[in-house]
Structure 1
Amino acid sequence: MSQVTPFHIAIPVYNLAECRTFYRETLNCEEGRSSDHWVDFNLFGHQLVIHYKPKGETGDLHSNPVDGQNVPVPHYGVVLPWETFQPFAEELRTKGVKFVIEPYIRFEGQVGEQATMFFLDPAGNALEFKAFRDMGQLFAK
C-alpha cells in the first residue's frame, strides 16, 4: 500500500467559537492558521478547515439506511488505526459526546471488518470515525 496523502476538507459552521473549542478540546485537534472567519485544524494528519457560514444557510441533515442504522448524510471523518479507535471512543464518551450511532463493529469476522461511530459537531455536521482490523481491506469488496 502506498503512503497516505493527507486530505483537505472545509466545512461550514455557524458558531465558529463553539466549533473551534469542540475540535480543539473534544477531538484534540491541533489548531493551525486562522482568521475571524475560519480555523485550520490537524485532524489526525489531515487538514480540516471550519468556515463561518450564517445559520440557516447550511443544509438539513439527511440519513440513509446502512447496515440497520440511519447513517447521516453528508458526513466526513477519518479512518483510524484499529488500536486507536476504542480509546478515542471512550475519551469522547467521557467528554459527553452524544453519538448518532454508538461505536460498534460492522462485518465482524468478514472481509472489511470495521469499527465505526457517528456523532455531530456543535454546528450539526456529522462525523464518522472508523477503523479496519486489517487496513489492507479498506477497499475490499
Structure 2
Amino acid sequence: MSSFHYAFKVKDIQSTREFYINLLGCEEGRSTETWIDFNFFNNQLSAHISTEFPKLDYCGKVDGISVPIPHFGCIIDIDTFKKIEKKFEENKIEFVVKPQKRYQGKTGEQLTMFVFDYSGNPLEFKAFSNNDEIFSS
C-alpha cells in the first residue's frame, strides 16, 4: 500500500484542526505553532500557516462541470462518502460542487462533491461505483 504526502497552506492552526479533526475525523500527527500534520484517509497532509494563497481557476471541466484548480481530495467508499456528505450538511458547509453522480452508467461512474476547508482550499471527495474502474477510460 502506498500513501501520498501533500503540504498546503492554511490561515491558522485552530480552524484547520476544527475542519480536519472535528469535522472530517482525521487524526492529528506532529505539529508546531506554524504547521500541523493529519492522517487524511491514510495519507499525510501537512498544513502550513501562510498569508499568501494562490488564486483559484475554475478551468477544470469534468463531465460538463467546472471545478476549481488546484484542488486535492481523496477516493473513499460510498458509505464514507455519504457520512461525510451528511456531516457537511449538518455543519452547513457550502458545497462548491454539490454531491452528485458523475459518468452515470459509464465506466468510471462515481459520486463526487467539492467543498472549501476553512482556509479556502478546495477539496474533492470521490466514491467509485466500481473501484476497479478508478483508472479506466
Q: TM-score range by the shorter chain?
A: over 0.9
Hey, what does 1:105 align to over in structure 2?
Answer: 101
The answer to whether structure 1 residue 25 and structure 2 residue 22 are counterparts is yes
CA distance in 1, matches of 2:88, 2:41: 15
Task: Choose the corresponding residue for 2:115, options 102, 114, 119.
Answer: 119
TM-score normalized by structure 1? 0.91
How far residue 26 of structure 1 moved from its aligned partner, in angstroms, is 1.1
CA distance in 1, matches of 2:49, 2:17: 11
Letter in 2 for 1:99: F
CA distance in 2, matches of 1:109, 1:68: 16
Which structure 1 segments of 5+ residues have no match?
none
How far residue 92 of structure 1 moved from its aligned partner, in angstroms, is 1.5
How far residue 83 of structure 1 moved from its aligned partner, in angstroms, is 2.7
TM-score normalized by structure 2? 0.94
The answer to whether structure 1 residue 60 and structure 2 residue 55 are counterparts is yes
Letter in 1 for 2:31: S
Hey, what does 1:83 align to over in structure 2?
Answer: 79
Q: Deviations over 1:63-82 (max 9, x none)?
A: 12322222011000000012
Q: Deviations over 1:8-41 (max 9, x none)?
A: 1111012222122111111111111100110011
The answer to whether structure 1 residue 48 and structure 2 residue 31 are counterparts is no
CA distance in 2, matches of 1:58, 1:18: 16
What is the DSSP-based 3-state SS (H/G/I as helix, E as strand, rest coil) of the residue aligned with 1:22? helix
Which structure 2 segments of 5+ residues have no match?
none
CA distance in 2, matches of 1:139, 1:102: 23
Identical aligned residues as a percent:
40
CA distance in 2, matches of 1:96, 1:10: 26
